[in-house]
Amino acid sequence: MTEEVFRSPKKRGRIAVLLSGRGSNFMSIHHAIREGRIDADVVLVLSNKPDAPGLTAARERGLETLFLDPKLYANREDYDQAIVERLRQKDVDLVCLAGYMRILTPVLCRAFVNRILNIHPALLPSFPGLHGRQKAIDWGVRFSGCTVHFVAEEVDMGPIVLQAAVPVLQDDTEDTLAARILVEEHKIYPEAVRLFFEGRIEIRGRRVFFV
Ligand code: GRF
């Protein structure tokens, strides 16, 4: 059986960011674009929360933003279908989840296979889901970190692009560990997006290669 190989496109990319909160990862990506480290434009910043600080930050940066109210849709699939339509209208190449606090339905996952990235605050496959940092502390691991991965239908389980590790200290709280991990998130997320639009990411099975 021949394995299907995906190769990311080498082009000036069109990025959509989905966020629900403060948006520091979005800002790290946008900053890298402005510095010329990523060949792309953020063409849409979309949120399920009208008051997400990340939306305000996007507006302040002159970017197109959109609040889509989940309450106006009968179910999660219909909501995700509305998102898919907006993303298609904007001809989006890559969707960056950046603190987007909704689980994607297959409607969205299947419309953008190999074209949705997420950042998770733990070294996957350890500690998926919510509260990854507290789970790492409670488990007693000596290192945790963050993972940029492609989004598959199973939550936090898609192919891993980049990871960074940080020590877990004896007196860490969820907040102190989060702050240490966040510094690394802001390095590896823009780096993964850069590699994507340099056409250097190849996915074979569940492994990612840089070519
Ligand atoms: C980050 O900790 C990220 O790992 C997780 O959600 C948080 C988002 O933070 N997925 P921000 O909104 O990007 O500042």
pLDDT digits (tens, 9 = 90+) for 149-162: 999 998 889 999 99
Write the pLDDT tens digit of every residue in 44-72. 999 999 999 999 999 999 999 999 999 99
Coil, strand or helix: which one is 82?
Answer: helix
Residue 19 alpha carbon to ligand 1 centre in Å = 9
How much is the mean pLDDT over the chain?
A: 97
Question: Which residue has the least CA distance to atom 14 on ligand 1?
Answer: 24
Report pTM: 0.97
Pocket probe mutation, ligand 1, options 18, 19, 24, 46, max atoms within 8 Å of Cβ: 24
120 noted as active-site residue: yes
Atom of ligand 1 nearest to the CA of 22: 12
pLDDT at position 128 is 95
Mean pLDDT in residue range 178-198: 98
Atom of ligand 1 nearest to the CA of 185: 4
| Sheet strands side by side (includes 207-210) | 5-7, 201-204, 207-210
Q: What is the C-alpha separation between 116 and 153, in angstroms, rounded? A: 11
* Backbone φ and ψ of 184, nearest 5°: -75, -35
Coil, strand or helix: which one is 106?
Answer: helix
Atom of ligand 1 nearest to the CA of 27: 13
Q: Where are the alpha helices (DSSP H) in 37-96?
A: 53-60, 76-89
Write the pLDDT tens digit of every residue in 134-143. 999 999 999 9
Residue 68 one-letter amino acid = L
Pocket of ligand 1 (CB under 6 A): 19, 21-25, 54, 98-99, 119-121, 146, 185
pLDDT at position 143 is 98
